[in-house]
Chains A and B, each alone.
Chain A
């Protein structure tokens, strides 16, 4: 209670303390300011409490600080080093202290300074279990992570998950930062997955493979370069599976190089109110294996808002799969479109070429959406709730090998599926939830339409 209603004296005392602190800070600041450009060198760096971390690793992090030539630089560079250490996630707490040198024979050298770093290392073993819901899928998972395995912020993790769409997934991963830089990461993955696509395509898919991935930051954004080798098997067609799905059954081996570039300038990914976002994924498959194609996917989003809480966002997504060996694409590589997080007003993956109840996927797609988010009547004070009006359009077509670009473009623009609707959006810290009443305006004869209420739960929406 006392904390809530401080008395006058307490307030005065607090103000006094604050004043004292500010005065002291100002004094130190002016002191430092006076000598900031004086020549100053780090004489000794002592790291306390880093028992598991390799010395060479720490050395690499602290190396830049040793090049400091003035007090100003010493402070700046050692702070940078500490920030870098914190970003690896292997220390719970990092404190630093600058002090005059302790060696008696150097006491009179005012241009030498000692840096002391006190760290508390985080525990090496981390075990997580839980349930997750997102991207129209619910799953439970368990993961075990060994951090800082070889003392260089390397992580070794194994995880498994069981869910509605990914029936089971096992993964083993080893990741290490390169050159003690938290932005440059090299990781090696082994995985085995079983995907259940029976809801829209009447088949299951088993996937086993490995990948080598390098991620880095450039001034343009986030980059990911990967090589991936996959053994895929389309299997267990459902009883009602159509012949086109059955004919897709079988094994295939894919070996591909991928590059992903993400440029994200939005204020937040779930319900952005300002900024823009671009993602480009390129894949070349054909280094061995029996799949030979180029696969491109581009996504762009822009959002604008005003003070009254009205947000307009527009998203465009497009993909193209180009066969390089004249063979028709396999269903595992194709694109799927439609659903509450894609083109609303249609069932999940319910657009494009279909046979019976099965979506066959397509080789080229385009989809676009415009959303207007307004304060929800009655809930104007709550930012997490918004009323939602949208218009979506999308088209997914298959491309015969050797088909002219003109025909592909014609097919894509000929008959888009269009829907409009309105609803409510709730932004949970981890996930965006939408309940919309959607009406398809234009659709192909075979499209799986879903008129009426549609619930969407996920991270990335059209």
Chain B
């Protein structure tokens, strides 16, 4: 159960109460009260890509013999049924249910569990719409049974899309393509990313041994959260930034990713915050506000797939978005200050890492490694701008990182072990 996600959606419909009057041979009237309640339980399993929908129809019959006009009162209590549904990981689905129902003594309980069962409609529950307009509910009225036969002939679907086996990661990809390692990569299957957030997801998934299929995407609008990257799961649901961490924790295999103890975890949070505020600002500045880099590289990578007019318009719009997002936390965009802070942050990381393979001397990478590696890799592989106007300004962040040989080695090693292989 550990390597797949399970979602249980349980829906309980309103109980339908029917009162049926039966005249007995001795003249008395028996009122039968029938309560029908439908409990539908859906188990969504990602690992096996099976979808089991089980529905329990629980009906209770309470009957009491009463004399003519006296109202019969029934105390009807239905305890919630506990259903445990287990699915095997093979394609054939088996569902077993154990149901415990406590009822009044004379009530017979019938539990029937079937895959994709339809609720047998009760005669009183038929709506106006159902009676007059055939759409919607399907029922046991002969006319609607007849109607349900249409269309008489079905042809195969003109468009089919097979369910993915692995989770699909929609992310900015591949990497810068110019720079130390990624230039050697084959063009066939995209690997890596020029976008820190995308690379972060990729490395975190890889560190936790979660298999995924990478699909290059450049359109944040396609994501349910409006931001790239995001994961599309085989069961049709999506994982966005909000649920990413918990989804990974639920789906990772036990052996992967080293566990940090409490103090290390607290330190890791601090370092992640450091990277995401200080290094991030310097990276954003380099990408969007160094004119040479913006014009020759950033724009092409984020918006290059559009028509050149749209590339220009949209990149300027994004640039102003970036500016306003940076100004949320600072009063002005001061290049010197930003790079000074970034240099301090990078130095702190270099000191913390030391000469170990991963942070805190672990044998396997952790979440902090995913974040730090993503920043270092993106910075180190940024294409070098060589022109007089730029005068090396775009390369400043890369030079700051290159000062720390251990960070360079660290980034290279992770790339070689997790991505290039």
Contacts and interface: CB of A to CB of B under 8 A. Distances in A.
Interface stretch (A58-66, A68-76, A217-225, A350-358): A350-358
Given A442-B153, A444-B158, 18 more contacts: A246-B170, A252-B306, A354-B157, A354-B159, A396-B158, A397-B158, A398-B159, A414-B155, A415-B156, A440-B150, A442-B151, A444-B155, A445-B157, A449-B150, A449-B151, A450-B135, A451-B134, A452-B147
Contacts of A362: 158
A237 interface: yes
A108 interface: no
Closest 6 pairs (CB-CB, A-B): A452-B134, A353-B159, A415-B155, A249-B222, A443-B151, A246-B222
Contacts of B151: 417, 440-443, 447, 449
Contacts, number: 110
Given A253-B309, A414-B155, A439 B221 contact: no
B147 A451 contact: yes
A247 interface: yes
Interface in B173-208: none
A353 B222 contact: no
B224 to A, nearest CB: 6
B161 A355 contact: yes
Interface of A: 231, 233-237, 239, 242-244, 246-247, 249-253, 288-290, 352-356, 360, 362, 396-398, 411, 414-415, 417, 439-447, 449-453
Nearest to B156: A445
A69 B314 CA distance: 65
B232 A243 contact: yes
B388 interface: no
Nearest to A291: B307
A445 B157 CA distance: 5
B121 to A, nearest CB: 17
Interface string B147-170: 110111111111101000000101
B133 interface: yes
A251 B222 contact: no
Contacts of A444: 154-158
A249 to B, nearest CB: 4
B219 interface: yes
B9 interface: no
A112 to B, nearest CB: 63
Contacts of A445: 154-157
A290 B158 contact: no
Contacts of A235: 221
Interface residues of B, number: 33
Contacts of A239: 224
A397 B157 CA distance: 10
A453 B135 contact: yes
Contacts of A236: 221
A411 B309 CA distance: 37
A383 to B, nearest CB: 28
B229 to A, nearest CB: 13
A445 B156 CA distance: 5
A352 B158 CA distance: 6
A87 B222 CA distance: 50
Interface in B205-256: 217-219, 221-224, 232, 236
Contacts of B170: 246
A452 B133 contact: yes
A251 B310 contact: yes
Nearest to B158: A353
Nearest to B219: A250
Nearest to A233: B221
Contacts of B132: 453
17 contacts: A237-B221, A237-B224, A253-B307, A290-B306, A352-B158, A356-B236, A398-B158, A415-B158, A439-B150, A441-B152, A442-B154, A444-B154, A444-B155, A445-B155, A451-B150, A453-B133, A453-B135
Contacts of A234: 221
B44 to A, nearest CB: 14
B154 A443 contact: yes
Contacts of B150: 439-441, 449, 451
Contacts of B314: 251
Contacts of A244: 161
A415 B222 CA distance: 33
Contacts of A450: 135
Nearest to A246: B222
A316 B216 CA distance: 42
A398 B161 CA distance: 14
Interface string B385-412: 0000000000000000000000000000
A327 to B, nearest CB: 12
Nearest to A255: B307
Contacts of A290: 306-307, 310
A452 B149 CA distance: 12
Nearest to A238: B224
Interface string B313-341: 01000000000000000000000000000
A150 to B, nearest CB: 33
Nearest to A396: B158
Contacts of B152: 441-442
Nearest to B220: A249
A446 B159 contact: yes
Contacts of B154: 442-445
Nearest to B132: A453
A239 B222 CA distance: 10
A407 to B, nearest CB: 13
Contacts of B310: 231, 251-253, 290
Nearest to A362: B158
A364 to B, nearest CB: 11
B109 to A, nearest CB: 36
Nearest to B164: A243
